[in-house]
Each structure stands twice: as C-alpha cells, then as structure tokens.
Chains A and B, each alone.
Chain A
Amino acid sequence: MSTKRTFVVRRRWMTTEDVVGIELAPADSLPLPAFDPGAHVEFFIDRAGQPPLVRQYSLCNGPGETDAFVFGIKREPQSRGGSHWIHSLSEGDQVSLGAVRNLFPINRDAGSHLLLAGGIGITPVLAMAQKLTSVGADYQLHYFVRAVDHVAFRDRLKESEAAGRLHVHAGLDAARVRAVLGEALARPRQDAHAYCCGPGVFMDTVAEVAAAEWPSERVHFERFQAPAAQSAQASDAAFDVVLQKSGRRCHVEAGQSIVQALAAVGCDVMTSCEQGVCGTCLTDVLEGTPDHRDAYLSKAEREGGRLILPCVSRSNSATLVLDI
C-alpha cells in the first residue's frame, strides 16, 4: 500500500476491438523500478464513496522499454469496475499504481521455452516473447484467440512471427484446443519450461494435457484470482477484543483479523469463507463500534452495529466486546 505512485497516460490505443493498449509514464519523471517479463502491477481504482478497487495487470514491455509501463487490458463485459474504468481513460489522465511483482518469471536455466496464451493472457507472455527474441533464446509461442481479429499487439508479435516462432490458433472449439495443446506439449526437451496465461478453463486444460509428460515444476501459470474482500492491511489500526462469556481479552494487531487474534489465544471461531461473504462466523457485538469489511450484512445491520463478521471486519473503537 505504501508504494502508491502516480502515473500519466502517455498513449492510449485500441489494439483490438476490446483490448486497449496503454502506456503509463511516471508523473515524477523518475526512473521506473526494474522488472522482468511476467511481472504485473497493481492498479488502484478510486470509486466515489467506496474503498478503491485493486486490480493487477501484466506488463507487456519489451526489453529497452524502461521509461513507461505498457499494458493491454481487455474490456470485460462483466467488469466489476476495473477494466471498464481503464477503458474510459484518456491520454493525460492520472492513474495510481502500486507494487510491481513477478510471480511468473522466465526460468533462467531453461534451454527452451514454450509460451501458451489464451486471449488476454497474451500480455505477460508477450513480454516474455520479446525478451526471448532479443537474447536469441529458443522458444515457441502458441496464441489462442476467438478469431483472427482478436490478436492483440500485432506489431509486438512481428519478430516472433518472422522467426516462425508464433502460432496463432483462431476460433478452435474445446476439443481442438486440447488437440493443439497435445501436439505443442508433446515430447518436451529435458530442459524445457512452459508458461501459460489465459482463462481459467484454458489453463486447466493446459495443466491436464501437460501432466502426461511435463513435471509440474516446469509448467508455470499466471492466474489472476477474484480479489479477496478487503481484509486486514498493515495500515489498519490495532484494537482490543473482549470476550464477554469468558471474560478474556485479546489484542488484534494491524494486519491480523479478529478470528486470527482469537485463535492465537486459543479461542476458535467457526469460519468458512474467511472473506466476509458467507456469514458462518456471524457474532453478536455487545459494546464498541464495528468497522464492517464484509459483503454479507445489510446496510441496516451494519448501521445497527450489533453484528459483526470477525473474519474480515475490525473495530473503529479501541475495544470491541463480543458475545463469545
């Protein structure tokens, strides 16, 4: 959270009908942090009257593009705000970005690389392909799209294409996707690594097909999960919880949930989702003011202040007395 930095939209263009390309340059003109292919960046998307949305998007930067972040972002028709908001940006608009992370790096010891992208999953893979091209590494890129005109960033794919390393598969049904993957993944070299990003079902299919001949540690996936409900963060305040029935008292640190703090003193609250959506841990509040972070209680219940979901919610008062 502490690494928020302001960026400016330097360039914006549609790379396909539903994928926008954007270049974001730091507003302070200072250098970007170092990053490698496969990295993603957090976007903080402000919403009126609500906590900001946090979304992660992969970087498409090629080697040498070190003065601005390059993203390709698909407009998700069922967007909960993230992609829709980004599509609405214009050149010159400001954006708040957080940390750069890489959970999907190129393996340095690999002798060859198999890149598998489904739809918008091309973005981190594209960064990899550009890098691998520049260092003359051995790789193949299989790019699955709904139709040929859904191929994004054609300009950045040119070199892979010219080298005969790009294989675009358009409009295949599930069975044919599986068949193509079967061929691409057949008889891997001993030192080969595979990298896959795309829709969940696509990655599941890759995992199933690869299982036949690939050791799992040589197949890498980039999955962006639904963001969890707002949970404990380092910036949250600490507070005390008093357990009325046992008379015990327990301190809840910043970055720790009430349920975690209670467990640490031997009091187990029954939980299930741990994200404030299911209501399993619903607990009565006897004193204090809850800081609701759940997506379960109604507005009236939240304002009533007598109920709390301690798996995610916190306290606005120094002490919270629970009926446990």
Chain B
Amino acid sequence: MTTQVQPKPLLEDRTFLRHFWHPVCTRDELETAHPSGRGPLAVTLLGNRLAIAKLGGKIVAMDDRCAHRFAALSKGTVVDDTIRCNYHGWRYDSSGKTVHIPACPELPIPRKAATNTYQCVLKYDLVWVRLDSSWDCTEVPYFSDWDTPDMRNVVVPSYGWNTAAERRWENFTDLSHFAFVHPGTLYDPAYDRPPIPTVDRVDGELRFAIKPPPEMIDKLPENAPMGTFTYRCTMPFSINLKLELYKDSSAFTLWTTSCPVDDTHCRNFLIISRAQKDNDPDHVHTAFQKVVLQEDQPIIESQFPAEISAEEVSLPTDKVSNQYRKWLRELSIAATEGKEAFVRTLKTGVRDEPIKA
C-alpha cells in the first residue's frame, strides 16, 4: 500500500489566530443550553475546549476543565454566581478561581485550584472570545447594519462544517463558483467568467466590490438577493457583504463569520440584515440561505486536506482568495516576530494599484 502524499498547509503556524476575537455561540444557544438561561455550554475554539456561562450577569469563558480531576465544567451547573463541577462539587467564580471545595471546606484552597479564563464579550447577539489578549490589538469585527434603524436582523442558528475556517471564508467570497455551485439559485450560469475586483487592505479589513449583471435578475428566484456586492471583511474570518438590491435599491446585508474550532473544523455564524418591509417574513430569507449553504457544504467539505495549501493551482480570477492567503501568511509570520510586526502587518493599508507600464 502506498500512502497518499498530503500537500503542505499554507499556514504552518496558526497561533496568530489567538490574537483575534472569534464567536463561539449565539446568545440564544447559550441561553437555551440550560433552563436557567445561564449555561454552561461547551464550545471549542482553536482546539481549546471552553465552558461558557453567565455568572453574575457577565458572560465568561474558561477552560472547560476542573482543576481537581479534570472533569468538564460544561457538565456542571451554574449555582449563584459560580459554576459548579458536577463531579465533586468544586465551585469556580467568574475569574476562574475555585471558591468552594465541599470535601474539605475548612482547608485553605490551593493556589493551583483554578481554571484559565479568557476575555469574552457579547456583541451582535453572539458570544465572542479572544484567547490571547496580551497584545490587545484587535476588535470585534465590523458589521455595517447591526445598529442601523429600520433594519431587521435575523441571527441564524450556528452550523458546523467539516473544514477549516479559511476555506469557508474563501467559499463565501468566491466569485467564480456561482455558475457551477449555485446555477439558478444565486447566479445565471451563462455568466461563468468571474470579475476580478480591486482588493484593498483598510483598517484590518480586506475590501472589494463587484456589480453582477443586472439582467440576471430575470433568471433567479424572487428571493435571491441580487444587486451591487460590497465586501468589507475584517480579518481573519468575517465578511460583511452589503448589497444594494437591483429590484428596489433597498439595503440587504449578509454578515457572516466563522469560528475556527480547530485546524479542520469550523462553526459558522450568519446574520441576515434587511430593510424592514411588509409581507416579508424572516423564514423566506433564512430558508433561502439554507438552500445556498446546502449547495456549498458538500463541495467545501470535499476539499482535502481541510487546511488551505500553497500547492493549490491559482488563477488570476482567484484574486480575492490569493490576496487573502497572502495576508494570512504575512500575519502568521509577523506574529512570530512580535507584537509590533503583527500590528504593522494587520493595520497597514494597501491600495491595490496595478503595475504601471
């Protein structure tokens, strides 16, 4: 038997991702994890198993492991403002310290009786965690319409894909696959020559825009969002795709991001944001997006290895992905050089200017 040679991954070191905020669950998923509405809920972020819970009105993220015999705290119970391990009843406060050990309440609590906690915030009805806040140089990603009046936001339940978060990002921004993966759903298959937009780096975002042919609208389902596409993508995994619909010039934003669960899995979050209208129920839009994602998922999960590789053959029409990969690689290398190099690589603007003759 011969062994199939695995292509080398493009990103040999993914630790730089620990410096970014990533979503781990929706608020609804945390609240429905337990009748108390306070969790705990088990999640995984970059291979770290975490317990999420609401303690004292604050959402906390901590290593999902009791210091005593390493049972999962996510199997425990929120009691008062603590999370109780349901193996031997140790209780942890929001800072991760053990505050009560039922077996020996009279003894001092050992210093090592604690679990790591991480910065955690609620934004866009999602729970965000940053594993490494030592450089404190990143923010929760941009979302154009969360606070815009008269916009209706629908937070879709999160869904897992068996692939790396990078591949999911590239799928959502891929301008070449519409004619093949979504013929008649998102795009008229007659238009199989993709556009090549200018791709800029601005404030930690990759920005680009396209104008699909307006006449395609005649060939697409009524609910297919079709208009000018403006992308603002906060690195590393978020996408704010804002459309001005051809049919009525109203605003429609698909906002999505992906939690890097580990090197080969991701959990995806989607918020559909649209101008409030009569006779326009949410389910029409959520069901349509579900159809689209079901067209994508089997193809994306078939890509192997799940990690992106430099050995894939790129075309000029893959510019968005090529430039995304370029930036990821630069960030990965810069993070090994230290905070200054990382911040410079993340924040330095780059205007896409073609070669002058």
Contacts and interface: CB of A to CB of B under 8 A. Distances in A.
Given A277-B318, A299-B351, A51 B184 contact: no
A175 to B, nearest CB: 10
B310 A51 contact: no
B195 interface: yes
B107 interface: no
Contacts of B353: 298-299
Contact of B190 (A49, A50, A146): A146
Contacts of B213: 77-78
A78 B350 contact: no
B283 interface: no
A77 B322 CA distance: 23
Given A173-B184, A278-B322, A300-B350, A78 B316 contact: no
A51 B357 CA distance: 5
Contacts of A76: 193
Given A77-B211, A80-B196, A199 B316 contact: no
Given A201-B190, A279-B325, A50 B312 contact: no
B302 to A, nearest CB: 19
Nearest to A76: B193
A200 interface: yes
A292 B357 CA distance: 10
B356 interface: yes
Contacts of A292: 355
Interface in A253-305: 272-273, 275, 277-280, 292-296, 298-300, 302
A278 B314 contact: yes
A78 B357 contact: no
A174 interface: yes
A229 interface: yes
A295 B325 contact: no
Interface string B322-357: 110110010000000000000000000011111111
A174 B316 contact: no
A93 B194 CA distance: 30
A34 interface: no
Interface string B291-321: 0000000000000000000111111111100
B316 A275 contact: yes
Interface in B172-217: 179-180, 183-184, 189-196, 210-215
A38 B79 CA distance: 79
A320 to B, nearest CB: 17
A273 B357 contact: no
Contacts of A229: 316
Contacts of B195: 78, 80
B49 to A, nearest CB: 35
Most central of B189, B210, B350 by chain A CB within 10 Å = B189
A273 B315 contact: yes
Interface residues of A, number: 35
A77 B315 CA distance: 21
A292 B315 CA distance: 18
Contacts of B183: 174, 201
Given A226-B315, A280-B310, A174 B189 contact: yes
Contacts of A228: 316
B276 to A, nearest CB: 30
A272 B191 CA distance: 26
A277 B315 contact: yes
A119 interface: yes
A172 B310 CA distance: 41
B322 A50 contact: no
B303 to A, nearest CB: 16
A51 B355 contact: yes
Given A272-B310, A272-B313, A299-B353, A78 B193 contact: yes
A259 to B, nearest CB: 15
Nearest to A46: B357
A170 to B, nearest CB: 13
A279 B322 contact: yes
Contacts of B190: 118-119, 146, 199, 201-202
Contacts of B192: 199-201
Given A201-B190, A280-B310, A226 B316 contact: yes
A106 to B, nearest CB: 26
B351 A272 contact: no
A299 to B, nearest CB: 4
A206 B176 CA distance: 21
A292 B354 CA distance: 10
Given A77-B211, A119-B190, A272-B312, A298 B350 contact: yes
A275 B314 CA distance: 8
A280 B314 CA distance: 10
A272 B194 contact: no
Contacts of A119: 190
Contacts of B214: 77
B211 A273 contact: no
B314 A273 contact: yes
Given A50-B354, A80-B195, A278-B312, 4 more contacts: A51-B357, A273-B314, A296-B326, A299-B351
18 contacts: A51-B355, A51-B357, A77-B211, A77-B214, A78-B191, A78-B194, A78-B212, A174-B189, A201-B180, A201-B183, A201-B189, A226-B315, A277-B319, A278-B312, A279-B310, A279-B325, A298-B352, A298-B353
Interface of B: 179-180, 183-184, 189-196, 210-215, 310-319, 322-323, 325-326, 329, 350-357
